[in-house]
Amino acid sequence: MTHRMPSTLPIAGRRLLLQLGALGCLSAAAGLPAAARPEAAPRAVAPRGPLAADELNNIAVFKAVSPSVVNITALGVERDFFSPRVTQVPRGTGTGFVWDEAGHIVTNFHVIQEASGARVTLSDQSSHKASLVGVFPDRDLAVLKIEAPRGKLPPIALGTSKDLQVGQKVYALGNPFGLDQTLTTGIVSALNREIESVTRRTIRGAIQTDAAINPGNSGGPLLDSAGRVIGVNTSIYSPSGASAGIGFAIPVDEVNRIVPRLIRDGRMVRPALGVTAGPENMGRALGLPKGVPLVGVAPGGPAQKAGLRPFARGAQGGIVAGDVIQAIDDTPVADLDDMLTELERHQPGDRVSLTLWRAGAVRKQAVVLAESED
């Protein structure tokens, strides 16, 4: 017998009966044996086309460069409270990259600053004790060395930074927040930026990028689209301490000038003129032109041999005019930092031409650089 729903039942009541009936059907289906239940088939996967050209390049760069990028763990000394025993414990991480098959690793100075030791983890996750080869804090660069099979030490490809253009694509590869082998992309946002090193010396020519750089990326490579190093990631500009789209890298031309000297000498051997520069306000106080006024000339040094003379007090208390260094090899130097930067481009024994101002007269003087004692 067929039962019909009374037509006089209110609409809300009829809806309730329909819902109860649906629940009854579901309950009945749930009670069916597994073989009798409706099959829950996965949805078909839509095919995708080939990867875009830029995606393929991203993948190619990562595969080519990642074996050359390493994780650096800075170690500190910790003393056991209940015994005189001391142990080395991790105190921070950063990034570095393989410079050559001899095991030299380039990173930032601030990554290993004040550390008692360091360990380098290669891309195959093997860990190696690192020894310190040399540092140059003024450019925030350091070189470590590990003993590992040459097959595990593929040197990174070097590019150049002198021909970079704003807008070209870049990659940052490193270990942000300890997450190793992380690739981020961006562009060259600006060139010739100035950033401050840990010694407060100015690092000129820095590369600005919007590729995400975070704590732990320090010391890692900034790459061009061919996978060549164009800079060493060193700092970020961020109120929060995390990436805000403004990161900076030391240009590779500067790195390639300094690192071989650290490997050869164990330190950055500074060429010296044998002079003492006056304070910053001296030029303004005496109405001098831009440059580096001298207040001291080392006896027997290059400057004295070349006839340079410092400012001094005369017998009557007046100022006796000395020399102001205005340029080195025709490159203007406005202050001591400029002068040191230009001198660091040379080696002890090089001959340079100084542009000098004294009492209103300008002259040029050749000087042979000596080795600094610091």
Residues labelled catalytic: 110, 140, 218
β-pair partners for 163: none
Cα separation, 325 vs 283, whole angstroms: 12
CA-based torsion, 268, 271, 272, 277: positive or negative: negative
Cα separation, 341 vs 45, whole angstroms: 60
Q: Which residue has the tokens 């080195």?
A: 328
DSSP at 158: B
CB burial of residue 319 (10 Å; 0-12, 13-18, 19+): exposed
Beta carbons within 8 Å of 75's beta carbon, 6+ residues apart: 88, 89, 90, 91, 115, 116, 117, 118, 119
Helices (H), the chain: 11-30, 53-65, 109-112, 252-265, 282-286, 302-305, 336-343
Q: Which residue has the tokens 């080939």?
A: 50
User: Would you say 110 and 218 are in contact if contact means Cβ atoms under 8 Å apart?
Assistant: yes
How many CA within 13 A on the CB side of residue 234? 31
